[in-house]
Structure 1
Amino acid sequence: MSTPCPLDTLCPMHLDLSPDGGICHVGPTMARVLDGLSWHHRPVLELIHVDRPRGLDAFSDLVQQSGRKLRLRLRADEVRLSGVLVRKPCGGAIIDCSFGIGVGEAVARYGLSGRDFAPTDLSVEFLFLQEAKSAAMSASRRLNRRLQSARILAETQAFTDTLTGLGNRRALDQALDRLTHEGRPFALMQIDLDLFKAVNDSLGHGAGDAVLQAVAERIDAIVRSGDTAARVGGDEFVLIFPGLADAARLERIAARLIAAIEEPVFHDRQACRVSASIGIACSEHCATTGIAPLEAADRALYDAKHAGRGRAAFAKGHGSLAEPAVLKEP
């Protein structure tokens, strides 16, 4: 069994050179760097170029630099090294190398770790600091992602009605403020459920909650992705349609909503039946009357209820619906 070379531990990146400049041994880390290259007994200057001092093209010239700092470069992949050469008493030389400030790139390129460096090499400290920095940055990124997720969740919850999943009053106010600030036209529908109190009184609040959730799902299936649908009271909903002011389209949407909401909701095998009264207002018309769209829609909703359940009405001056749907009593 051969005796381990002490230099392999003290200088794992050394090159042991024969009197004619051939490589007769390399340290374990240098062996990893030269992996795939035929280095045994090969002239060192065929594998390594001396950048500084300049003009060292022969091994005899290189030996004259004993004790001086060398700037080296691997010819195969342009990796830069620092080195120092010392002569051996029996002839030849030892060149001890290091990566210098390029140690981080070298570690990634060759898959090195702290075990590949001498225990006293400052590169070990650098690797420790680099690993600590990487771990700290990774922990910071994880924390930032968690904080971002928590912030998004908190913001979502702050603007969401917990029972139905639609927006809440805050979401409605934000949407109205944004559209008003942008000066974009929009239509607004205020919906109030007819006979909802009767469901709550006769079948209980569980049935009432089931009705509200079903109504919210039906509303969500009808509105567009850019619209706002909010539950603003017990059985009150408000819808905002940006860019929509066509009375015929609004009439068709209202008719679809009334028809969808009239479909019975089953809770504990009991059919829960409600309908919807709808008040409609358009921002452009409200601008001429000086009445806020939400107030105008609320007045129109009162008119719809006063005329009979299960119908829709435009705010005064906005036009009128041709044949409003009327709730069929169960």
Structure 2
Amino acid sequence: MTGEISLPRGALDLLCPMHALLDGEGRFRHAGPALLRLGGGGLVGQRFLDVFAVTRPRGVDHHALLRAPMRLQLELRDHPDTTLRGIAMPVADGAVVNLGFGISVRDAVRVHGLGGSDFAPTDPTVEMLYLLEAKSAAMGAAKRLALRLEDARAEAEERALSDPLTGLANRRALDLALARMGAAGEGVSVMQLDLDRFKTVNDTMGHAAGDEVLRQTAQIMANAIRGDDMVARLGGDEFVLVFKEITAPSRLAAIARRLISALERPIPLAGGEIRISASIGIARAAAAEPWLPARLLGMADHALYRAKRAGRGRYFLHGPITGTGGGTGGTDTLQVRE
């Protein structure tokens, strides 16, 4: 059995909110609510092809829309980025064109402010939009979580490689840095430094004063190095300074003298000021074959012992280490009291 069904416009607007009723000249007689929103509201009376450009098939004019059913690909002339798909169906006094967005729906919703009521209740677009938004929200949450985890990892790494009292590098950071330099055979010098008379500060003024002295002396040492150098606190009043590509005895002696002089200046504390000094042992590794960090630090420790035995405020320069065999290059030593 065949026949025609007549629908009130309200029902057609609900079932097909993106439809257009065209007259025999291809002008809008009526437009669904979503299509009105898309066209800014003033569609009635305009030619359909003045509002939309048909990109496929080519050469479509308003007469073609009225002759036979036709699938269309279109774009809004005022918003060429908004692409649509549709089908035109001729009727007795014109044509009905029903449109949809296809895969461009997300951009269309964003650009034109469309919502769930602008789509037919049976249109899967609403569910697709929900899934897209849920995916976007999940990706955003995952990205934020990844950033927080990265920040937490960086903070944990920094804590693991930093001395909590002074903010300097700690022993682990020093070992990692020297291991890299030793494996690469870089030229480097280390200064092992102990504070003289520091125990007296702790014994007479308390550990809080001792901690403040350590913080201030750490800042003095940090100011004495370049960007590529390092100063690390091993614990207590023991520090190691690492100087990349500085191995000349004269330069190392000058640095040691400046450090001792700076550390011997009065250090202000809440109860007045105190004076300390420092003893420094220096060891060098020439830029050549790989060398062993443990051997280099052992030489610096031995040089420090020699400096302490000679009295406070002294430095001692050990001969250079050569390669991984643990030897030293000659008897290049220097002991100075300024």
TM-score range, shorter chain: 0.7 to 0.9
- Choose the corresponding residue for 1:45, options 46, 49, 54: 49
Distance 1:45 1:288 in 2: 78
Unaligned runs of 5+ in 2: 1-7, 320-330
In 1, distance between residues paired with 2:280 and 2:96? 92
Cα offsets for 1:181-234 (capped at 9, x unmatched)? 121100100000111111111111111111111111111111111111110121
Contact 1:160 1:168 in 2 (8 A): yes
Deviation at 1:75, TM superposition (A): 4.0
Q: Structure 1's 127 and 255: CA in aligned 2 closer, same or farther, altered over 3 A?
A: same
Farther-moved stretch of structure 1 (40-49 vs 275-284): 40-49
Asked if residue 171 in structure 1 is aligned to residue 185 in structure 2, the reply is no
Q: Deviations over 1:149-177 (max 9, x none)?
A: 01101111111111111111101100100
Distance 1:45 1:81 in 2: 13
Q: Report the alpha carbon displacement of residue 136 of structure 1 after superposing the two structures with TM.
A: 0.2
Equivalent in the alignment of 1:7: 12
The answer on whether the counterparts of 2:169 and 2:233 sit within 8 Å (CA) in structure 1 is yes
Corresponding residue to 2:31 among 7, 26, 35? 26
Partners of 2:306 and 2:316 within 8 A in 1: yes
Within 1, Cα distance between the matches of 2:183 and 2:242?
Answer: 15
Counting matched residue pairs gives 318
Aligned partner letter, 1:46: D
Cα drift, residue 10 of structure 1: 2.9
TM-score, with length taken from structure 1: 0.87
1:298 aligns with 2:301: yes
Aligned to 1:324: 337
For 1:44-193, list aligned pairs within 5 A: 44-57=48-61, 59-66=62-69, 68-78=70-80, 79-88=82-91, 91-193=93-195
Q: Which residue of 2 aligns with 1:232?
A: 234
> Cα 1:205–1:61, aligned 2, differ >3 Å: closer, same or farther?
same
Structure 1 range deviating more: 27-36 or 247-256: 27-36
Cα shift at 1:54: 4.9
Unaligned runs of 5+ in 1: 326-330
CA-based RMSD? 2.7
Q: Write out the 4+ residue segments of structure 1 that deviate beyond 6 Å after TM superposition.
A: 285-291
Question: Which residue pairs with 1:313 in the alignment?
Answer: 316
| Alpha-carbon distance in 1 for matches of 2:286, 2:44 | 87
Quick one: structure 1 residues 128 and 288, their matched pair in 2 at CA, closer, same or farther if it must change by over 3 Å? closer
Displacement of 1:52 after TM fit?
A: 4.2
Q: Distance in 2 between matches of 1:44 and 1:117?
A: 21
Q: What does residue 218 of structure 2 align with?
A: 216
Distance 1:163 1:17, change over 3 A: same
Residue aligning to 1:259: 261
Could you tell me whether the CA contact under 8 Å between 2:182 and 2:291 is conserved in 1?
no
Q: Structure 1 19/174 Cα, relative in aligned 2: closer, same or farther at 3 Å?
A: same
Identify which range, 148-157 or 109-118, moves more after superposition.
109-118
User: How much does 1:258 deviate?
Assistant: 0.9
How far is the alpha carbon of 1:105 from its aligned partner? 2.6
